[in-house]
Structure 1
Amino acid sequence: MFLNLIKTTDDAGNERYRKAALTSLMNVASQAIQMATGLISVPLALNYVGVERFGIWMTLSTALAFITFSDFGVGIGTQDRMSKLAAVGLHGEARGTFTSSMLFAIVLAALLLAISWFVVPRIGLATLFSLKSEAAIRDIVPTTLMVVLVFALGLVAGIVQRAFSALQDGFFIALIQAVSRVLSLALLFVVVSAGMGLPALVFVVGGLSSAAIVAVGTPILLRRYPWLRPERTSLANMFDRQSLHEVLKVGLLGLGASVAIYLVNNSALVLMSAKQGAASSADYAVLLKLVGIPLMVLTYALLPLWPAIAEANAKRDFAWIGHAYKKYKRITQAVAVVSAVGILLFGRQAISMWTRNAEVVPSNGLLLATAGFMVLGFWNALTSVFLNGLSMYRSQATVGLLLAFVSVVVAAYVPSGYGKESIIWIIGCGYFLRCLMMQIQIGSFLRCNRIFPEVKE
């Protein structure tokens, strides 16, 4: 599907398509492994820990994903700045950006772990999540600490991943993730058979990939790009305050955009758990796993375009940007239609056969609402990749955040009698307006640069 995009008369454009296609294919392969792992791990984990503790895990992972925003947008800013610097050959400044961002992420991760170690045990988490079983009450604190550790690892791994992406070498990250997911599945059977508990399950399923990126990805990155290696041994000298300042200027806007889409995508599950208990959200959590498969594949297929667009924009190759947009727009529309029809026709049967647990089979209303939300996710994936590549974060961070906040607040006050799907529909209204705004921005950019007349299909 993506190899046919490697067609252009421009050598630089051809190289962008080649790298994007290679990374996209490896990303899709990696996600295929994750899908296969998920098909096995979800019912295995669900039957091992039970509905309530499974709901705890999914809710904690969703709620504490907000921790990933505690890097103040450094990951996004690092990719944006390194893409531009590498495109014009400013390797010294790119190195300063990478080393400063890595040190910043390491310090933040250490602070996060230290604070959580003292704070989490003193919070009444069992009451907060309306837990009933002794096993769930016993596991809530160690599981929460493990989820925090997983996200702390993710902060550091995120900088390594962003650096690979900025250099259009995301292929290696996808390869590391594919291998680590196979290992994760093997270790999952060990955890279950040995009865090692929910915290170990959380690390094996959620943290192994980040640990692999840090331990394996960093040496590969520095070997492929020797100019990224620190020239000075002193930590103080490795930290470039000006580089970090430039990263934060872009990163904080990117952070706002990320917070907005986080609220849109994850608030429904948290609201369901808070209103009706963790166990009541299990059906939606499993449904999200199912609809997330095609959305995740497309998202990871589109992500390699981000640095390619940034490079093309730095070199003012607007015709290539227009060509790429029209091609990928058609692909996104086709995938969205096929995925939505498949979920609506076969979603309930697939979940029933997959989990063999009638408690997590969704209602038709919940299925319809989630399918519609998934289509908006496809639209957002396409538009956000192009706007990010063009460094157009401001409206995503301001208007997008306002729309997300308003829709979530309105959904929070919906009476429980209206059903769980009403929460999704209300948040979806804000999501639709966000996507529409982003679509208008892209159209304006293409028209202002007179791209469409130059694009030949």
Structure 2
Amino acid sequence: MLLSFVYVPILLSYLGVTNYGIWMTIMTIINWINYFDIGIGNGLRNLLTSFIVQNKFKEAKIAVSTAYVALSLISFLFLIIGSVAIILIDTKNVFNSVEPLKLVLFISFFFICINFIFSLSKTELYSLHQAEKTSYILILTQCINLVGIFSLSLFGNGSILAISILTGFSTAISYIIFSMEIWRKKKYLAPNFHLYQAKMLKAICNLGVEFFIIQIAVLVLYSSDNFIIIKLFGPDAVTPYTTTYNAFGIVNGLFGAMIAPLWSRFTVAFVRKDFIWMKKTLNKLNLSLIPIILVLLCGVLFFKPLSVIWLHKTLFFDKGLIPMMGIYYFLMIWGSIYSTFLNGIGKIKLQLYLAVFGALINIPLSIFFGKYCEMRTTGVLLATIICMVISNVPLTIQAINYLRKNSSN
């Protein structure tokens, strides 16, 4: 996060407000491919955790190998489809810009397809209860990005193409390094393409398909805002929105670092029927919301003057955007507590229905509040907040009722 604080203003200075907004939108759209794994990543996470805790290492190796083969085929398919789509689309219309962006999209899409496969290393780390090492991957990536953007800023300005190459390369090399290290230490997690089994893929996807539908719905709910903003209000409006989003996201990132291991820990507790531990853990997480509220409130009060110091320039923020962002991240953190618990124990039906419903109403609500109510980016964010409230309340009730029933038994 500290590296990001240094990186963002240098990147913004290098690209300028307009190109920065375009690049953030490109990254949002390109990263959508990470959600199209048919739920293999999350399905593998629960299954692999169960195998490891039961010392079924042969089954674990088959599961990992099957997942890598399946993701490699999906990635190759997406590379072909994406390349054709990039050739056919009118980038000037899509991104509301005269910048030539096809080569940028090709390079970004190529790297994201490679990273799509090697991102399974994070699933392996979660299953080993080594969630902290997924952050090491991000740190290495950000270090390479920081050195790269600093070097680029010495020799020129404004090249989105150079940034696309730098970003793709840094992520790919980080994933490959950590994947090799995992496979060296845990031989049973190294994929062997000859061990692919269709029945194992079915076992992964039994729960994985539901995760996949949730992922797609979440994609529409959380990742469409930049695209809506750039279409309705132009790329300049994306920059203050994403800057606020990234700054407040620090709180979510810190909480995410704390909660990341718990998905797999909940899976282990579920296998062992340790409902008392689950209940105590959720109570502790709920108490952590109190300091989070105070931190977000401070962020709302002091963000504007701090942003000038941070970015070395003054940005125009739509009225109400900053306090709305504080509410947004509180709801996200609250929701992540109960979704992590329910994901870990595999109770995701209700979450699936709520996610799909939220995805269906989010874009129309965003256009209504943003355009017709003239709330601009604040209205787009308000639409997402409404969808989050609709989801968070039922999921919280479901989790509490589940634990009350099972811990009493």
Same fold by TM-score greater than 0.5? yes
Write the distance in 2 (CA, Å) between the matches of 1:166 and 1:100: 16
CA contact (8 A) 1:404 1:427 kept: no
Q: Structure 1 pair 362/88, CA: closer, same or farther in 2 (3 Å)? A: same
- Summarize the alignment of residues 345-424 of structure 1 with structure 2, pairs less than 5 Å apart: 345-358=301-314, 360-414=315-369, 415-416=371-372, 418-420=374-376, 421-424=378-381
Q: More deviation in 102-111 or 308-317?
A: 102-111
Name 2:217's counterpart in structure 1: 260
Q: Structure 1 pair 209/382, CA: closer, same or farther in 2 (3 Å)? A: same
- Summarize the alignment of residues 145-224 of structure 1 with structure 2, pairs less than 5 Å apart: 145-195=106-156, 197-205=159-167, 208-213=170-175, 215-224=176-185
C-alpha offsets along residues 60-82 of structure 1, whole Å, 9 cap, x if unaligned?
A: 11223221122111111110110
Task: Report the aligned-residue RMSD.
Answer: 2.0
CA contact (8 A) 1:275 1:416 kept: no
Would you say 1:248 and 2:205 are equivalent positions?
yes
- State the 1:96 CA deviation: 0.8
Select the residue among 20, 30, 33 that pairs with 1:54.
20
Write the distance in 2 (CA, Å) between the matches of 1:154 and 1:329: 34
Name 1:20's counterpart in structure 2: none
Q: More deviation in 57-66 or 257-266?
A: 257-266
- Summarize the alignment of residues 278-357 of structure 1 with structure 2, pairs less than 5 Å apart: 278-331=235-288, 333-357=289-313
Write the distance in 2 (CA, Å) between the matches of 1:229 and 1:295: 32
TM-score, length of structure 1 as denominator length: 0.84
Write the distance in 2 (CA, Å) between the matches of 1:61 and 1:344: 26
Q: Structure 1 pair 363/206, CA: closer, same or farther in 2 (3 Å)? A: farther
- State the 1:166 CA deviation: 1.1
Structure 1: tracts of 5 or more residues without a match: 1-34
Secondary structure in 2 matching 1:130: coil
- State the 1:336 CA deviation: 2.5
Secondary structure in 2 matching 1:398: helix
CA contact (8 A) 2:4 2:142 kept: no
C-alpha offsets along residues 383-404 of structure 1, whole Å, 9 cap, x if unaligned?
A: 1111111112222122221123
Would you say 1:104 and 2:59 are equivalent positions?
no
Structure 2: tracts of 5 or more residues without a match: none
Would you say 1:449 and 2:394 are equivalent positions?
no
Would you say 1:80 and 2:46 are equivalent positions?
yes
- State the 1:111 CA deviation: 2.5
Write the distance in 1 (CA, Å) between the matches of 2:168 and 2:160: 12
Matched residues, percent identical? 17
TM-score, length of structure 2 as denominator length: 0.93
Task: Return the letter of the residue paired with 1:209.
Answer: T
Task: Return the letter of the residue paired with 1:398.
Answer: Y
Task: Return the letter of the residue paired with 2:230.
Answer: S
C-alpha offsets along residues 355-382 of structure 1, whole Å, 9 cap, x if unaligned?
A: 1232x34244111211111111111121
Secondary structure in 2 matching 1:418: coil
Write the distance in 2 (CA, Å) between the matches of 1:154 and 1:442: 34
- State the 1:146 CA deviation: 2.8
CA contact (8 A) 2:132 2:257 kept: no
